[in-house]
């Protein structure tokens, strides 16, 4: 056992396996991802080659049992890997997060054995890429207003799906999509059903690719369904349970985004620390000035607090596997605080770097752009506050 520590003392015991994974991912990320991150950010191209390499390392199915093609590790391992990848490049970590938290976790928790064999094995092994599709052009946080429809055909063998989904991470490259549609619109949230969609079947159309402020190498697009015939065997869970499934998966996803936020924040903090030591003004390093010291102190404190909340959420998820208790509040607190910490720290990093922080010659401007999305996707900061408050107030 190695004890992972911070300035406040011991926080988490890491097994030898955890340490080996963290160090291996750190080495890979710094060697393979960091040198190409700026190039892919500039072009907006999807980094397929490095994503495939992450799959070969087992990073596309970290928590999935080996029998289903995964690495067979736990949520702490997932968080450690996400931090190291995000520290190198947020776009790469976004692909890893969606594949692990939203798609693989969904198939493992709610899928049939046949669905696991057909879809989960190639996803967890990195052979294929997954996506999660809930949002629509006119339906974001209020999923009960979604317009995509799935109607059972006369033979009772397929659901015919029509509609448009938006902001689908990995949509342009996904082989498998966890899709949420209305099967009984009059029931609103209780009329949503989840489907496992094979992108190779007719009626699946990839729409326009979104030009984004940040995480530009993480491909995002609309998905269009035109009389897409989805076999009834590809229902995930049961008809009408889609909203419950979606929210359950977002609990797991928020831990991934919290870890991503910590990674982005850590990269920006370390860059700022190095710059404050090296950059001189008025005859001394700028780190000698109290205003800079105040920023460094606030950045470090928030970073460590975000890290601990993220570890806490990961441990809560691991306990949940044994007790069945939800870890929604822990995940929401970690996601809320870590994402706002990433935004705070990257903002301070740009300030510390001054004019160079505004230049693409330095990576902090990319960290700043990448950090913003963490406050928005998989539930905005506003939604996280609602989730936390309603839990504390015992409101349903």
Percent of the chain with pLDDT over 90: 92
Residue with tokens 């929604």: 328
Which tokens is 147 given?
A: 């317009």
Annotation says 378 is catalytic:
yes
Q: Which domains does the chain have, with CATH numbers?
A: 2-129 (1.10.540.10), 131-242 (2.40.110.10), 243-392 (1.20.140.10)
Give residue 2's pLDDT: 52
Residue 9 has pLDDT above 90, yes or no: no
Residue 11 has pLDDT above 60, yes or no: no
Pick the catalytic residue from 84, 210, 375, 378.
Answer: 378
Which tokens is 118 given?
A: 């057909």
pLDDT in tens, 156-194: 999 999 999 999 999 999 999 999 999 998 989 899 999
Give residue 141's pLDDT: 75
Give residue 7's pLDDT: 39
DSSP three-state, residue 225: strand
Q: Per-residue DSSP letters for 117-168? A: IIIIHHHHTTSS-EEEE--BTTBSS-GGG---EEEE-TTSSEEEEEEEEEEE
Task: Report d(CA 338, CA 314) in Å as an integer.
Answer: 13
Residue 65 has pLDDT above 70, yes or no: yes
DSSP three-state, residue 219: coil
C-alpha distances out from residue 217 to 230, 267, 303, 394, Å: 30, 18, 25, 41
pLDDT in tens, 349-385: 999 999 999 999 999 999 999 999 999 999 999 999 9
Residue 238 has pLDDT above 90, yes or no: yes
C-alpha distances out from residue 74 to 37, 114, 186, Å: 27, 24, 40
Give residue 6's pLDDT: 42
DSSP three-state, residue 350: helix
Backbone angles phi, psi at 2, to 5 degrees: -115, 135
Q: Burial of 278 by CB count in 10 Å (0-12 exposed, 13-18 middle, 19+ buried)? A: exposed
Element (H, E) at 200: none
Which tokens is 57 given?
A: 């390392």
Give residue 163's pLDDT: 97
Q: What is the mean pLDDT of the chain?
A: 95
Give residue 199's pLDDT: 98
Residue 128 has pLDDT above 90, yes or no: yes
């Amino acid at each position: 056992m190695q004890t992972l520590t911070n300035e406040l003392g011991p926080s988490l015991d890491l097994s030898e396996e955890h340490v080996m994974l963290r160090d291996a991912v750190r080495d890979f990320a710094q060697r393979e991802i960091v040198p190409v991150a700026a190039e892919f950010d500039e072009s907006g191209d999807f980094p397929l080659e490095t994503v495939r390499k992450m799959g070969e390392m087992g990073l596309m199915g970290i928590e999935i049992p080996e029998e289903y093609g995964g690495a067979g590790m736990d949520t702490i391992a997932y968080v450690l890997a996400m931090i190291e990848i995000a520290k190198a490049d947020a776009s790469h970590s976004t692909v890893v997060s969606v594949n692990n938290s939203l798609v693989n976790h969904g198939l493992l928790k709610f899928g049939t054995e046949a669905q696991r064999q057909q879809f989960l094995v190639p996803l967890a092994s990195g052979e294929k890429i997954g996506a999660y599709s809930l949002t629509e052009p006119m339906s974001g946080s209020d999923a009960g207003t979604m317009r995509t429809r799935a109607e059972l055909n006369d033979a009772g063998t397929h659901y015919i799906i029509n509609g448009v989904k938006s902001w689908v991470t990995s949509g342009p490259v996904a082989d498998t999509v966890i899709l949420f549609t209305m099967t009984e619109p009059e029931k609103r949230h209780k009329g949503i059903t989840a489907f496992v969609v094979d992108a190779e079947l007719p009626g699946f159309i990839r729409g326009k690719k979104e030009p984004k402020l940040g995480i530009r190498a993480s491909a995002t697009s609309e998905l269009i369904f035109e009389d897409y015939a989805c076999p009834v065997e590809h229902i995930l869970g049961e008809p009408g349970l889609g909203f419950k499934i979606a929210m359950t998966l977002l609990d797991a996803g928020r831990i991934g985004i919290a870890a991503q936020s910590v990674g982005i924040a850590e990269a920006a903090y370390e860059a700022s620390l190095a710059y404050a030591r090296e950059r001189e003004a008025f005859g001394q390093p700028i780190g000698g000035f109290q205003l800079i010291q105040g920023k460094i102190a606030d950045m470090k404190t928030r970073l460590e607090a975000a890290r601990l909340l993220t570890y806490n959420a990961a441990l809560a998820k691991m306990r949940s596997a044994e007790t069945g208790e939800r870890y929604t509040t822990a995940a929401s607190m970690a996601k809320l605080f870590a994402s706002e910490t990433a935004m705070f720290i990257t903002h301070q990093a740009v300030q510390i770097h001054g004019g160079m922080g505004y230049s693409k010659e330095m990576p902090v401007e990319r960290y700043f752009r990448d950090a913003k999305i963490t406050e928005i996707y998989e539930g905005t900061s506003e939604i996280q506050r609602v989730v936390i408050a309603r839990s504390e107030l015992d409101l349903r």
